Each structure stands twice: as structure tokens, then as C-alpha cells.
Amino acid sequence: MRPLLCLCALLGASCLDRIILDGTVKSTRDAASAFDTLSDLEVARTAAASSLVQLEGMQKLAPDNEDALYLLTQSWAGFAGAFIEDEWEAAVDRGDDEAEAFQARRARDAYERSLRFGTLLLEQKRPGFVAAQRNADTMKTYLAGYSAKADAESLLWVGAAWLSRGSVASDDPAVVADLFVGVALLERAVELDEGIAYGTALAALGAYHARSPDAELPEAKRLFERALTLTNRGALTVQLLYAQNWACNAHDQATYETLLKEVLAAGDVLPAQRLENTVAKKKAARYLGPARLQRCGFSRTP
């Protein structure tokens, strides 16, 4: 009998329960990629909400389980981006101020929940994350301690949630002032694994650098183009963010429409990202509508 099982035999059922729970969480993480192959958004929404509740319960029973912390960080960020932000954007476009404020609060709460678990995850993997948030230099020093390619996943999702919270809470000076933390996390993730999650980190950084007309648009364009190359244009969220951020703020209507029409015309180009691509198609159709064209200062096309 293995030493751990021998110890459990002495300690009793609670130890065996923890081994079973840890195994269940690991299996859940190993199988999570199957969720990304769904194409039915209603099924995905319902399943994602149920999974979040289940994961929250498992993490409560095993608060130090890294797989549970990772899954909750990723899942809350993904649920907010795919579903809550979609409802927020729709409310913005139809001019429903009450719904816009409500959905923005929901999205912020979801991203903050992601960051809560992400902070626990990083503190467990390498203590000092919270203390390092003083400035860009302290963050860089802290993140230099992550040297394995496998670390990129955790850094990516904490960084993505950090920047995404900024997009729905841009009126909060404290949130905006801390965006450098999310940028640093994503930059380190890219250094460790440039193509992590089908260019997600590159595209998120591109969106940040194209956050306004006077931001770092050349750098944003470079990041988006690199993401397109690495994904062979198959991860359609890259084109979506490229249009939504760079083309809109660069006042390039031709590129904006070309990118979004490419998303809508794409077939099942990347089955492993089918769900994300389905979300991108839904949003692309909205972004070609009059409300989004007007927000970018574009004229309506015939």
C-alpha cells in the first residue's frame, strides 16, 4: 500500500474523502476542454452556471486544491465574457440604461469572483502576489518567479479577468489605476507560452493597447496580427477583438467590417474552440449593426 493510503487508513474516512474529491476535481479539469466544443449557447449557458455552483462547493470542501482554484478563475471569467457581457452590450446598444447598469454590475461581480479565486491560486503557487501589486516594477519582479510553460494558464486567466473587469468598471478610478497588474500578468503569460489558449493572451493585450484612439495602436495591431498568424485565423475571438478595439479606435471602417464579416462567414474552422467561435459570431452580427457602427463613428453601410 502506498504511504499516503497507509496514512489515510490511520486517519479515517475524511482523508479518503479528500483523495476522492481531489481526484474528481482533477478529472473535471482534464475534461473541461470538451465544453469548448459545444455550439448551442443556451445549453452552454445552463451547463456553465451549473458547473460554477458545483465547483464552488468542491472548492469549499478543498480550499487548497489548485485545480479547483484554477477552474473557478477560468470559469467565472469565461462565463462573464461569453454571457453576462453579451447581455450588457445588448443593453448598451438598445439604450436601456437600467439593464446596462444591472448587467455591468453582474459582470463586475463575476470578474471579481474570478479574481478572488485567482488571487488565492497565485498566492498558493507563489506567495507575494498581493504585496507585489504596489507598482509595475514589483509586479515584474514577482512574475519573474514563474518560469514554467505550465504557469502561463493561471497567469492568463487572472490577467484576463483583471483587464475585463476594467472594461465594465471603467468609471472606477481605482480599477483603472490597477490595470497594470492585468497587463503584467498577460505579458508574462505570453513570455512563457506565446500561443496560450489560441492566442487569447495576445488578443487581450491587443485589446488593452487599443483601448482608446490615443492608446498604443501600433503595438495593438502587432499583437493582433501575431495572434492571427499563430491561430491560422481559426480562433474568431481574435478577429472580433481586433475589430472592436483596434479598427474602431483607429477609425478604420473597412478593416472593421472585413474582420467582422470574416467571423460571420467562417465555418466550423476550429472545433476545439467551437463555443468561443459561436459567441464571436453572435457578437460580430451585433457589431455590424447601426448602434455599434455609430459608436465607432462609422457610417452605415448599404
Residue pair 197/156 in contact by the 8 Å Cβ criterion:
yes
CA nearest to 159, candidates 182, 126, 139, 132 = 182
Q: Domain for residue 208, yes or no? A: yes
Q: Domain for residue 217, yes or no? A: yes
Residue 124 pLDDT greater than 80, yes or no: yes
- The chain-wide mean pLDDT, for the chain, equals 93
Q: Domain for residue 301, yes or no? A: no
Lowest mean pLDDT among 57-61, 71-75, 95-99: 57-61
Question: CA separation (Å) from 131 to 135, 155, 181, 187, 188?
Answer: 10, 16, 12, 19, 18
Q: Domain for residue 207, yes or no? A: yes
The amino acid at residue 258 is T
Residue 12: its pLDDT value, please?
Answer: 52
Q: Domain for residue 8, yes or no? A: yes
Residue 11 pLDDT greater than 60, yes or no: no
Residue 302 pLDDT greater than 70, yes or no: no
Residue 7 pLDDT greater than 60, yes or no: no
Mean pLDDT of 62-88: 96
Residue 8: its pLDDT value, please?
Answer: 55
State pTM to two decimals.
0.91
- Rounded to whole angstroms, the Cα distance separating 272 from 198 reads 10
Residue pair 284/240 in contact by the 8 Å Cβ criterion:
yes
pLDDT tens-digit readout, 130-180: 999 999 999 999 999 999 999 999 999 999 999 999 999 999 999 999 999
CATH number at residue 263: 1.25.40.920
| Helices 97-125 and 66-79: angle between axes, nearest 10 degrees | 160
Q: Domain for residue 302, yes or no? A: no
Residue 49 pLDDT greater than 60, yes or no: yes
Percent of the chain predicted with pLDDT > 70 = 95
Residue 301: its pLDDT value, please?
Answer: 62
Q: Domain for residue 187, yes or no? A: yes
Mean pLDDT of 106-122: 98
Percent of the chain predicted with pLDDT > 90 = 88
- Rounded to whole angstroms, the Cα distance separating 142 from 155 reads 12
Q: Which domain does 142 fall in, by range? A: 3-295
Q: Domain for residue 195, yes or no? A: yes
Residue 31: its pLDDT value, please?
Answer: 86
Mean pLDDT of 216-226: 98
Please count the structural domains in the chain: 1
